Amino acid sequence: MADIATRVYNHKWKIDPIVRSLIDTDFYKLLMCQSVFRNRPRTNVTFSLINRSHSVRLADLVDEGELREQLDHIRSLGLSRGESTFLRGNTFYGKRQMFRPDFMEWFEGLRLPPYHLEKRDGQYELTFEGAWPEVMLWEIPALSVLMELRSRAVLKTLGRFELQVLYARAMTKLWEKIERLRQIEGLRIADFGTRRRHSFLWQDWCVQAMIEGLGESFIGTSNCLIAMRREVEAIGTNAHELPMVYSALARDDAELARAPYQVLADWHEEHDGNLRIILPDTYGTEGFLQRAPDWLTTWTGIRIDSGDPVQGAETAIRWWQERGEDPRKKLVIFSDGLDVNRIEELSSRFRGRVKVSFGWGTMFTNDFRGLVPGDALAPFSLVCKAVSADGRPTVKLSDNPNKAMGPPDEVERYKRVFGVGHQQAQEVLV
Amino acid sequence: MADIATRVYNHKWKIDPIVRSLIDTDFYKLLMCQSVFRNRPRTNVTFSLINRSHSVRLADLVDEGELREQLDHIRSLGLSRGESTFLRGNTFYGKRQMFRPDFMEWFEGLRLPPYHLEKRDGQYELTFEGAWPEVMLWEIPALSVLMELRSRAVLKTLGRFELQVLYARAMTKLWEKIERLRQIEGLRIADFGTRRRHSFLWQDWCVQAMIEGLGESFIGTSNCLIAMRREVEAIGTNAHELPMVYSALARDDAELARAPYQVLADWHEEHDGNLRIILPDTYGTEGFLQRAPDWLTTWTGIRIDSGDPVQGAETAIRWWQERGEDPRKKLVIFSDGLDVNRIEELSSRFRGRVKVSFGWGTMFTNDFRGLVPGDALAPFSLVCKAVSADGRPTVKLSDNPNKAMGPPDEVERYKRVFGVGHQQAQEVLV
């Protein structure tokens, strides 16, 4: 029997909102937001959406009116009482009151700032400008909205049973991956797929399938809302955004060279244990580690997010050994371009040498490759990045030149300051 | 929002009934029932459930108490007002009032007669005895109940997501078949899968998938309830049961030799057009056609239900040609052991030579092969047959000795009377 009232209520919605909560975002955005709120609250930043997959012409696929409705809806969202209670009361990484009362009070009153939207060459130019702690929270919802509107656009023409079979195939595909992951001894893996997900409901399904299928090996999700609803750990530490903005604000080369360490010094003050994870690749992993102060070697681990992951992990192990640390007590988190083959390969390569965990993203929450004609649901490479801070451009080098960002002259300056030489290019799939 | 009342109502059910309607049965059972109700209402028959797949130990898998509850529930069913209206008012095979008022009045008052259930050697001995028109209606619900209780028994240990993925895989499997069938020019195919279905809901899903996926090529379902609910044609004509019982009642060899034709003479009187389909294999197709009276050549077509289907259809074509009929105006219905490969093969072989349609059964509604460990959901060969009539054993020879039934001396007598020589044995998979 249908619940008539529910049905009527559903029909009253003007739109079917994609993002329905301010905590439908990556947990580390909230951790970073609190750090920024304390240390750099008045920095003015611009975030910009960049589609690295030019062949996916988003502005042709997605109706501008629909996009605006979704973005406007996000601007209407405020933290609910239950969400606030969760953030204030939950244990994150073994710690109560991770979020300080002054931050929570600010967050409870927050509405996301305006956006600027234009069409150009079949793409959307979507930018956000304003105070860093506010603007930074646009990143994940902006990506989720565009990813899901693209999915909806492609799915529009499918029949009811075609749709059901499409999801049946996607479920089967994921389950087969889970069955393979189950074979990996000592696996520790988390969902990092919010930003590139096929849709919210699909991510939620994937997480629940992992909970049942992997048990203790599934350590949690980066999605704060799903972590709350499914009662699993919220996972995440920090991202490139921090060193990029700190570096852009540097007044000279000397300050620039110190900036990435200043980020971690601020972080060090705020967090301990598993939240102390170094993300070393923003301006080249090798140089970053060579010049790192000794207190960084006491951190819990390193996240490898670009370049050849084997080389990245070997570099980290060597660095710990050189600084007198036992790598077997350290954690390496792999989070770049993962799928099951690579997870298997990295697990077996580093077993016993270092603790390993995986942040599985796009190929976890958006592997619809090969499921519709023309592969129109294949994941694509959409990012939303800080492009300037207080009027100065940001730069990212990473360990893969194809992931580099920023004006060419600034890229050259950063390469010089951080001593980055030739880099091996790797294809950026997702 | 859950409908609280619905949830509470569902919890009040003592069991989850498998068969919930007297018309959740094959349409031809109703056609035959009406014929029997008119011509042989007082014949006393025994139907018996026979599991040809000895390795599937039903009595070990399925709890006797649960089985009794399901069978008792079926005995509580009566034709609902809407079902009666449908049977009285619907157009079947282009004809209104297919079911006569006296038959409908009887059917409306009908409750199924008692059953006898015993366990022996890991199998259930389930028999029904009484007036033919009543007992014959047990066949399909008895099979559905045992098939679905077996499915439930196997599925009991699966987790929620394992279950969802199981059905995702089954859906994908079926959809891939539908995608292949879509390529067959001029295909006409019907669902004949009620008796061997994985479950009622699954059959209902399969039919709906065919409606969307095949459009006009899907000509309907043999399941009367699903035909009513999904507003498609109810499909079916007659079965071996009629010649088997008529033959058992024959008082001597001469009457025996005439019996199969008497069945069709009674049928001829009652039905025309597409309902005039010969099922020639009960006592050997070759001899049956050779000795057939000329009026049978004017019938619409032949159903091939055992033996090599190519040979069966070639025999039919030759027979029509010998009798001066144009095979291109005749219909061959294939209904034995079909899956997509064979449907493709038969379609291409007979295209332009004869009209062809397919009654797709077990591999349509129960292809769960390879989906659980130990292949515990693979379909198996369960039948429910008339084994005696007025105290005399029935016999079936068919065009495949592995499908023969009856006491050995009677089988020999029938072979002699119908001039059946050596037969090619074919494996009975389902």
Q: Is A172 in contact with B172 (Cβ distance < 8 A)?
A: yes
Q: Which of B162, B159, B214 is nearest to B364 (CA)?
A: B214
Give me the residues of A, 140-169, that contact B with CB < 8 A: 159-162, 164-165, 167-169
At which residue do the structure tokens 């809302």 appear? A225
Q: Is A212 in contact with B167 (Cβ distance < 8 A)?
A: no
At which residue do the structure tokens 């694509």 appear? A380
In the sheet that B218-221 helps form, which strands lie side by side, from edge to edge?
B218-221, B189-191, B355-360, B331-334, B301-304, B277-278
Distance CA B90, CA B110 (A): 20
Q: Give the three-class secondary structure for B242.
A: helix
Residues of B in contact with A175 (CB under 8 A): 161-162, 165, 168
Determine contact, residues A94/A276, Cβ cutoff 8 Å. Answer: no
- Tens of pLDDT, residue by residue over B14-61, are 889 999 999 999 999 999 999 999 999 999 999 999 999 999 999 999
CB-nearest to A161 from B159, B169, B208 is B208
Determine contact, residues B311/B403, Cβ cutoff 8 Å. Answer: no
The answer to whether domain B16-156+381-397 and domain B161-365 are alike in fold is yes
Residue of B nearest to A169 (CA): B172
- What amino acid is encoded at A126 in this protein? L
Q: Is B2 in contact with A1 (Cβ distance < 8 A)?
A: no
Q: Which of B220, B157, B232 is nearest to B189 (CA)?
A: B220
DSSP letter at B357 equals E
Q: Is A172 in contact with B169 (Cβ distance < 8 A)?
A: yes
Q: Which of A248, A257, A238, A252 is nearest to A44 (CA)?
A: A248
Which class would CATH give B161-365? alpha beta
Report the 10 Å Cβ neighbour count for A269. 11
Query: Quick one: residue B20, left, alpha or beta (phi over 0 = left, psi -120 to 50 = alpha)?
Result: alpha
At which residue do the structure tokens 């050995």 appear? B408
Residue of A nearest to B175 (CA): A165
Report the 10 Å Cβ neighbour count for A169. 20
- CA diameter of chain B: 70
pLDDT given at position B363: 97
CB-nearest to A168 from B5, B6, B171 is B171
- Tens of pLDDT, residue by residue over B160-206, are 999 999 999 999 999 999 999 999 999 999 999 999 999 999 999 99
User: Percentage of chain B surpassing pLDDT 70?
Assistant: 99
Q: Is B165 in contact with A159 (Cβ distance < 8 A)?
A: no
Total length of chain A:
430
Distance CA B299, CA B271 (A): 10
**Is the model's pLDDT at B429 over the cut of 90?**
no
Distance CA B420, CA B64 (A): 41
Write out chain A in H/E/C secondary structure.
Answer: CCCHHHHHHHHHCCCCCCCCCCCCCEHHHHHHHHHHHHHCCCCEEEEEEEECCCCCCHHHHCCHHHHHHHHHHHHCCCCCHHHHHHHHHCCECCECCCCCHHHHHHHHHCCCCCEEEEEECCEEEEEEEEEHHHHHHHHHHHHHHHHHHHHHHHHCCCCHHHHHHHHHHHHHHHHHHHHHHCCCCCCCEEECCHHHCCCHHHHHHHHHHHHHHHHHHEEEECEHHHHHHHCCCECCCCCCHHHHHHHHCCCCHHHHHHHHHHHHHHHHHHCCHHHCEECCCCCCHHHHHHCCCHHHHHCCEEEECCCCHHHHHHHHHHHHHHCCCCHHHCEEEECCCCCHHHHHHHHHHHCCCCEEEEEECHHHHCCCCCCCHHHCCCCCCEEEEEEEECCEECCECCCCHHHCECCHHHHHHHHHHCCCCCCCCCCCCC
Q: Is A160 in contact with B6 (Cβ distance < 8 A)?
A: no
pLDDT given at position A10: 80
**Is the model's pLDDT at B430 over the cut of 70?**
no
Q: Is A164 in contact with B171 (Cβ distance < 8 A)?
A: yes
Q: Choose, out of A11, A158, A164, the residue to mutate when testing the contact with B (most B CBs < 10 Å).
A: A164
Pairing of strands A277-278, A218-221: unpaired
Architecture of domain A17-156+389-395: Alpha-Beta Barrel (3.20)
CATH for the stretch B16-156+381-397:
3.20.140.10
Helix axes B408-417, B253-270, angle to 10 degrees: 70
Arithmetic mean of pLDDT over chain B: 95
Q: Is A320 exposed, middle or buried (0-12, 13-18, 19+ CB in 10 A)?
A: buried
Shortest Cα distance, chain A CAs vs residue B174, angstroms? 9
Bridge partners, residue A220, by sequence: A190
pLDDT given at position A134: 98
Cβ-based neighbours of B283, under 8 Å, separated by 6 or more: B243, B247, B260, B395, B396, B397, B414, B417, B418, B420
pLDDT given at position A243: 98
- Give the start-to-end residue ranges of the domains of chain B: 16-156+381-397, 161-365
Q: Which of B9, B43, B79, B83 is nearest to B386 (CA)?
A: B43
Report the CATH fold assignment for A162-365.
nicotinate phosphoribosyltransferase (3.20.140)
Residue of B nearest to A7 (CA): B1
Q: Give the three-class secondary structure for B126.
A: strand
pLDDT classification of B223: cutoffs 50, 70, 90: very high
Give me the residues of A, 8-47, that contact B with CB < 8 A: 9
Please tell me if residue B6 touches chain A, with a CB cutoff of 8 Å: yes
At which residue do the structure tokens 């000279």 appear? A252
Total length of chain B:
430
pLDDT given at position B1: 67
- Which residue positions in chain A have pLDDT lower than 50? none
Shortest Cα distance, chain B CAs vs residue A142, angstroms? 28
DSSP letter at B273 equals G
Structure-token pair, residue B243? 């010649």
User: Percentage of chain A surpassing pLDDT 90?
Assistant: 92
CB pairs under 8 A between A and B: 60
Cβ-based neighbours of B260, under 8 Å, separated by 6 or more: B243, B246, B247, B282, B283, B288
User: Percentage of chain B surpassing pLDDT 90?
Assistant: 92
What integer is the mean pLDDT of B103-109?
Answer: 97
Residues of A in contact with B209 (CB under 8 A): 161, 164-165
- Tens of pLDDT, residue by residue over A116-136, are 999 999 999 999 999 999 999
CB-nearest to B165 from A5, A162, A172 is A172
Structure-token pair, residue A22? 């301010």
Distance CA A187, CA A96 (A): 27
Distance CA A9, CA A16 (A): 12
**Is the model's pLDDT at B8 over the cut of 90?**
no
For chain A, state the CA radius of gyration.
21
Residue of B nearest to A209 (CA): B161
Distance CA B23, CA B140 (A): 10
Please tell me if residue A425 touches chain B, with a CB cutoff of 8 Å: no
- End-to-end Cα, chain B, rounded Å: 43
CB-nearest to A3 from B3, B165, B175 is B3
Bridge partners, residue B125, by sequence: B118
Distance CA A329, CA A314 (A): 15
